[in-house]
Structure 1
Amino acid sequence: MAPIGSLWGVSYQRQTKYILSAAAIAGLELDVKPFEFGVTNKSPEFISKFPLAKIPAFEGEDGLTLVEGASIARYVASLAPESRLLGNSIKDAALVDQWIHFAEHEINMYSDYIWQMVKRFFPENAYSESVHKSIFERQERSLQFLEQNLSVREFLVTDEITLADIVLAAVIQRTGRVTLGAAERAVYPNVFAHYGRVAGDPRIRDIFGAAEFVEVPLAPKKDE
């Protein structure tokens, strides 16, 4: 089978995992291009196609260019409707979209904020314990909602893996590396059981790789 297009990304990036996992389950081939951050994406050829110089980035065999990992993954899934990655109906597809947006904006966004604060990516190396606490509490609220939903079903939308499950699993993998240590993860057994089902699926297990969860949540060093 000929590749459906070319992909630029890095294997550890959650958005790249969305796309590679969708292609693997859909039985589609991608031409994954060599990529060196700060070099490949700064080249005139890359910027002419993708002006924001972001990854992942996709160029289809027909010339279609896409950025944003979830959008690329959704396009890949749509090319193989028999994979049922977008569900079995229009309503299923809407629910898949709902959970993708939920995972990215109600869970991952807070992990990103906390990671950036802890790593001093904000101006003047700013860190605020009160802001950290507030952001974590917002993430907790979303995780509690998710935990409740997963208490009555194995997957988010249908009785098999959809793109929503892939996106959520990649988001939860990052969350377990940033904001949720062992004690925090124990509070969400259904969420992490879902992660194990998806990330452990033989079709995509190698794409997800080792969990590499932290024992305690990331925090500033005591001398900072």
Structure 2
Amino acid sequence: MAPIGTLWGVLRQRQTKYILSAAAIAGLEVDLAPLEVGVTNKSPEFLDKFALGKIPAFEGNDGLTLVEGASIARYVASLAPESGLLGDSVKDAAQVDQWIHFVEHEISAHTDLIWQMLLGYLPEKTYSEQIHKSLLERQERSLKFLEQSINTREFLVTDKITLADIVLAAVIQRAARVTLGAAERALYPNIFAHYAKVAADPRVKDIFEAADFVEVPLALEKAD
């Protein structure tokens, strides 16, 4: 099967996992372009197609260009409706979108902000213990809601993996490398059982790679 297009992204990035996992489950092929972060995506050729210089970025064989990982993954999933990645009905698709937006904005966003503070990526290497604590509390609130929501479900929307499950698993993997140590993970057995099930699926196992979870949440003095 010919590739549907070219993707610029790095596998460590959760958004790239969304896209490659969606393609794998959909039975589609995507070319992963060679990429040197900070060089390739700042080149005139890249910026001519993707003005913000963000990755992941996708260019279809028909010339379509897309950025934002979840949007690219959704497009890929839409090319294989029989895969069930977007559910089996309009209502399913709405729920898939709901969960994707929820985990990106209510879990992943807090993880990323904490990580950026700890590693000094915010302006003037700003760190605020109060903001750090507030972000953890907001993430905890969302995790508790999610834990309860999937208490009796194998997957988030249907009886098989959808794009929502892929996004959740990638977001949780990232959080467990930053904000969720062993003690925190023990509070969310349903979430991590879901993660293990998705990440172990033979179609995406190599994309998710090793868990590489932290034993304790990253803290300011441990950032490197």
Q: TM-score, normalised by structure 2?
A: 0.98
The number of aligned residues is 223
Residue 197 of structure 1, CA deviation:
0.4
Q: Does 1:15 align with 2:15?
A: yes
CA distance in 2, matches of 1:38, 1:121: 15
Residue 45 of structure 1, CA deviation:
1.2
SS at match of 2:66: strand
CA distance in 2, matches of 1:6, 1:123: 33
SS at match of 1:29: coil
Q: Does 1:84 align with 2:79?
A: no
Please tell me the residue identity of whatever aligns with 1:98. Answer: Q
Please tell me the residue identity of whatever aligns with 2:158. Answer: T
Q: Which residue of 2 aligns with 1:110?
A: 110
SS at match of 2:177: helix
Please tell me the residue identity of whatever aligns with 2:123. Answer: P
Larger displacement relative to structure 2 (72-81 or 43-52) = 43-52
Please tell me the residue identity of whatever aligns with 1:190. Answer: N
SS at match of 2:34: coil
Q: How does 1:64-213 map to 2 (within 5 A)?
A: 64-213=64-213
Larger displacement relative to structure 2 (51-60 or 39-48) = 39-48
CA distance in 2, matches of 1:12, 1:213: 13
Please tell me the residue identity of whatever aligns with 2:83. Answer: S
CA RMSD of aligned residues (A): 1.1
Aligned-residue sequence identity (percent) comes to 76
CA distance in 1, matches of 2:124, 2:27: 47
CA distance in 2, matches of 1:55, 1:123: 21
CA distance in 2, matches of 1:214, 1:125: 23
Q: How does 1:1-12 map to 2 (within 5 A)?
A: 1-12=1-12
Q: Does 1:26 align with 2:18?
A: no
**Residue deviations 1:105-149, cap 9 Å, x none?**
000000011111111222222211111111100000000000001
Q: Which residue of 2 aligns with 1:51?
A: 51
Larger displacement relative to structure 2 (189-198 or 116-125) = 116-125
Unaligned runs of 5+ residues in structure 2 are none
Residue 77 of structure 1, CA deviation:
0.2
**Residue deviations 1:134-188, cap 9 Å, x none?**
1100000000000001111010000100000000000000000000000000000
Please tell me the residue identity of whatever aligns with 2:183. Answer: A
Residue 39 of structure 1, CA deviation:
1.4
SS at match of 2:6: strand
Residue 38 of structure 1, CA deviation:
1.4
**Where has structure 1 moved over 6 Å in runs of 4 or more?**
none
Residue 31 of structure 1, CA deviation:
1.2
Residue 195 of structure 1, CA deviation:
0.3
Unaligned runs of 5+ residues in structure 1 are none
